[in-house]
Amino acid sequence: MSETLSYLGTRIKQRQSVDCPYFFTFYASVSEITQWAGVKRTEEQEHGAQRVTKPARLASITRFLEARGDNTLPGSIIIGFKRDSISFSPDTNFDISNRCQNEAQLGSLDITFDPTAPTHEKPGLIVDGQHRVFGSKALHNEDVPLLIVGILDADIEEQAFQFIVINQKSSKVPTTNVKSIIADIESINTNLGNRLEAAGIRYGENTPTLKRFNSEVSSPFYKLLDWELNDRDTEAKRIVTVTAIEACIRQLQSSFESLLDDTESAESVFLTVWSTLKSNYEDLWNDDSGNKFLKKVNIVAINEYLTHSLLMEWAKGDIDPLEESEVQEFVLGIFSSIPKEFWTREWKIKIQDNSNVRDLIKGDLETMLVNVKLQREWTKKLKLISQQ
């Protein structure tokens, strides 16, 4: 059964051309937005004009809002509205043109919708901002209102055009500019740097992600990073080098083109891999008495091995690296048969962080998998361990 909600706002025609669409600017709570606005994704529906939602990006929006009560999303959500689902009623009592020649009218927009309709059949389709919408919706105990620019009577062509323009014309602020802004603002004793870190925003060489890896209980590297911050915590152990994690995430991004500009998803894949490995080798995790599993050379070697294998499976269409359950099954499919003793026994060589040692580790991983497959002693033909 259809429902109708009404919103007060401003209808604007930005250009004088008869082909120029009307915009309607207003704000609405995210719980209402998701009743009448959805997403038509390119990969899922014909004529879609949006990308697949990325869980890591959604989670980052929710974390950003949870970090502080004054963290906000001032950018507008762009939504295209179908012609037969909306009705604008102008209020002619006010002149809100602000000395602009083009048309601007205060008024109300009625949106008629079926709350049970699938997301791609909603009267409003999100052109830009799906992660902000659904990331905000996941925030507990708060119904966040979001700013909206509605494109009225937007057909598929207009939605696709706006999506492409928004994503192709945006430019990232150079790191040097960000550094100078922060230095300038911090010089007047503000809390900008701490606020950015709490929100998980990168600036300059700042690495809030590493702080999150070290401080969140659910992280496989909880209180394990080898850096000065852990000197303040008597329960922390400085075991895992920061450069190992950074190298692994770079490796994932360089291997998967889709992750190059999506660091959050790369970090999510990395955490899934290493959380799964922790569940498989729990005994090795907090033991800093000499086992080799959490040494940088081993972490990077395992990451290189799994990244290459994951890439091959993805190329065959057998796995989606952004699906957590598929990655977990993939990792366990390899490492559940490799005994933890590989990392607790003495190795024939001195452990050094170089490509030669990494190649030996990856070679022995392959050999152990073959040994298990052939049901023979797991140490047979290993380069790093003597056969018993």
**Angstrom distance (rounded) from CA 361 to CA 369:** 13
Please tell me the predicted confidence (pLDDT) of residue 261: 77
**Angstrom distance (rounded) from CA 94 to CA 141:** 37
The pLDDT averaged over each successive group of 10 residues in the chain (388 residues) is: 92 86 94 92 48 77 89 92 90 78 86 90 88 93 95 78 63 52 53 64 62 88 85 85 90 88 87 95 78 90 95 91 92 93 89 90 94 92 83
342, 362 Cβ separation under 8 angstroms = no
Please tell me the predicted confidence (pLDDT) of residue 41: 55
Instruction: Give this prediction's pTM.
Output: 0.62
13 forms bridges with which residues in the sheet? 22
Q: Which of 304, 301, 369 lies closest to 382, judged by CA?
A: 369
105 forms bridges with which residues in the sheet? 11
Would you state the structure tokens that stand for residue 147, as one six-digit string? Answer: 């700013």
Helix (H, G, I), strand (E, B) or coil at 288: coil
Q: Which sign does the torsion angle of CA 138, 140, 143, 149 carry?
A: negative
Please tell me the predicted confidence (pLDDT) of residue 49: 46
Token pair 């550094």 in the structure block, residue: 179
Q: How far is CA 219 from CA 98, 233, 280, 367, in A?
A: 52, 17, 15, 30
CB count within 10 Å of CB 324 equals 17
68, 61 Cβ separation under 8 angstroms = no
Q: Which of 283, 254, 275 lies closest to 266, judged by CA?
A: 254
Q: How far is CA 7 from CA 4, 24, 151, 206, 376, in A?
A: 10, 10, 14, 41, 71
Main-chain dihedrals φ then ψ at residue 102, nearest 5 degrees: -80, 165
Main-chain dihedrals φ then ψ at residue 380, nearest 5 degrees: -60, 130
> What residues does each domain of the chain span?
3-169, 207-373
**Angstrom distance (rounded) from CA 322 to CA 59:** 13
End-to-end alpha carbon distance in the chain = 73
